[in-house]
Structure 1
Amino acid sequence: MQKTGTLILLADDDAALRQTLTEQLRLDPETEVREADSAAAALAAARAERFDAVLLDSGLPDLDGRALCRALRAEGLDCPVILMTAPADTGDDPADCGATESIAKPFRLGVLLARLRALLRRAAETDAAGLPIGPYRFLPTAKMLLEDGRQRRIRLTEKECQILAYLHRADGRTIDRDTLLGEVWGYNEGVTTHTLETHVYRLRRKIERDPARAEILVTEPGGYRLVP
């Protein structure tokens, strides 16, 4: 089928919930929904069309939703994914499986739709080809770096994404630690620059050839910058 407007993949084996969500999403005439009641159906749909967002149940009958999310990311899916979890689900951080965020059932329909709209807006503001950072393309909504010329994908945490996104917007300028800390964590008295330094250290271990001699995310007097 030809993609028009916004295309959403809804994967859930609860037929009643699928129907309700689909009806609400289709109130927007520019939105199309593809439904899947299993992981196999969701994978097939993702291979056939390019989606703008995915609503994914964590408890599909044929495969755990987190495993499915990893499989979808491995297939090249780079759009936002909202993982819909069971009330007692205390699984890993959704970012660990490639999900953008999670929401626990039962949820208010309006809350889910508001989150979805916010993610779609954020994705629309990002260049479809990704943001260039050193030898990588940065896909913020997928929380991922793709290495140019290779198939390697580097998963990022939410905070790592926020650090890279803010430094990228600075266009090579040095951002002082306090500013970066406030932009990423908010002005929380319980968070110190040590928190930022720890995240930068971990990020460098993912992206630098030699983390001890950073060439991409470099330290400057008082702060950090990304090398264009």
Structure 2
Amino acid sequence: MPPRPVLIVEDDAVLCETLFEQLSQEGEFAPQIADTTAAAAEKLAGPVRFDAILLDLGLPDGDGREFCARLREEGQRMPIIMLTGRDREEDVVQGLDAGANDYLAKPFRLNELLARLRAQLRIHDNSEDAVFPIGPHLFRPAARLLVEPTRNRKVRLTAKESSILKYLYRAGGRAVPREKLLEEVWGYNAAVCTHTVETHIYRLRQKIEPNPAMAQLLLTESGGYCLMAGA
């Protein structure tokens, strides 16, 4: 899977640098930094679609809880984990009521933060709010829907088509054998004819490729298929 964009909204320069370095390791995440709510709002309005936000409670130009509540009102549904030096029950409740998914008091262990971030992303990926970019499309697995914002176009998917796309997306551009797709999507093994997969891939290409005869997103490779989500 491509590195997951995470926005760090924190005005402590030392903590910011530490979080940036930790999240950048091993290519799992692609962090960006904002030290004010205004800078964060600007990044969120930009071309990058962030998968999660690490949000400080006290920022130079505003309260993190108010900023979180505003994001939820604007329709932002990615996981938000609040980071704060306040750990009273009242503070935790207020943070969660503002729309945060989790709340971590400083000082915290980095491994715990990473574990909580991964857990929130797993939950989100299986929720109604999950959205994955695939070429010019935004893929909403729970709704079985591909949205192409630039053309104001929506494409409905079958349950199997949605499951194939989700599995290939999570493979991060690696080729997935036909037999593996049969096992993961249909629940049975290579003893069943792989023509079933080929038929579904053909139909998917008709829906997602600008020119299905010259595939650019859903490619045949090494006895299987790979999805070039960032193409």
Larger radius of gyration: 2
Deviation at 1:112, TM superposition (A): 0.7
Structure 2, unmatched stretches of 5+, are 131-139, 144-231
SS of residue in 1 equivalent to 2:68: helix
TM-score between the two structures when normalised by the length of structure 2: 0.52
SS of residue in 1 equivalent to 2:55: strand
Are residue 53 (structure 1) and residue 52 (structure 2) matched? yes
Are residue 39 (structure 1) and residue 37 (structure 2) matched? yes
Aligned residues with identical type, % of pairs: 44
Structure 1, unmatched stretches of 5+, are 133-228
2:9 pairs with one of 8, 11, 18 = 11
Q: Which runs of 4+ in 1 moved over 6 A?
A: none
User: 1:108-129: CA deviations, max 9, x gaps?
Assistant: 1111111001111121223534
Over 3 Å counting, the alpha-carbon distance change for 1:123 and 1:28 in structure 2 is farther
1:142 maps to what in 2?
Answer: none
1:32-111 equivalence runs, <5 A: 32-48=30-46, 49-87=48-86, 90-91=90-91, 92-111=93-112
1:30, 1:118 → 2: CA distance? 14
Report the count of equivalent residues.
129
SS of residue in 1 equivalent to 2:45: helix
1:8, 1:117 → 2: CA distance? 11
Q: What residue identity is the alignment partner of 2:71? A: L
1:29 pairs with one of 19, 27, 30 = 27
1:88, 1:119 → 2: CA distance? 20
Deviation at 1:50, TM superposition (A): 1.5
User: 1:103-151: CA deviations, max 9, x gaps?
Assistant: 111111111111001111121223534857xxxxxxxxxxxxxxxxxxx
The question of whether the paired residues in 2 share the 8 Å contact of 1:83 and 1:102 is answered with yes
TM-score between the two structures when normalised by the length of structure 1: 0.53
The question of whether the paired residues in 2 share the 8 Å contact of 1:10 and 1:18 is answered with yes
The question of whether the paired residues in 1 share the 8 Å contact of 2:65 and 2:94 is answered with no
Over 3 Å counting, the alpha-carbon distance change for 1:17 and 1:76 in structure 2 is same
